[in-house]
Amino acid sequence: MSSSPTPPAVDEHPLDSTEAVLPYIPVVLPLVGAVLMFLLAFIAVTLA
């Protein structure tokens, strides 16, 4: 057994765009859905 243990390898990879956006999806997705529903309702009322 050696006196100096080797440190564990650190897997450092660059942050890609999908991982950067992932935390915001639970907030953005309902907001986009609400805006889409409002726009569709506005179009339906306008055409009626």
pLDDT tens sequence across 3-31: 677 777 777 878 888 888 999 999 999 99
Domain that holds residue 31: 20-47
Residue 10 lies in a domain: no
Residue 15 lies in a domain: no
Residue indicated by tokens 């339906």: 44
Residue 33 lies in a domain: yes
Q: How far apart are CA 2 and CA 40, in angstroms?
A: 70
In this predicted structure, what is the pLDDT of residue 28? 96
Residue 31 lies in a domain: yes
User: For residue 19, what is the DSSP state?
Assistant: H
Residue 27 lies in a domain: yes
Residue 3 lies in a domain: no
Q: How far apart are CA 41 and CA 10, in angstroms?
A: 52
Residue 24 lies in a domain: yes
pTM of this prediction exceeds 0.85: no
Domain count, the chain: 1
Residue 40 lies in a domain: yes
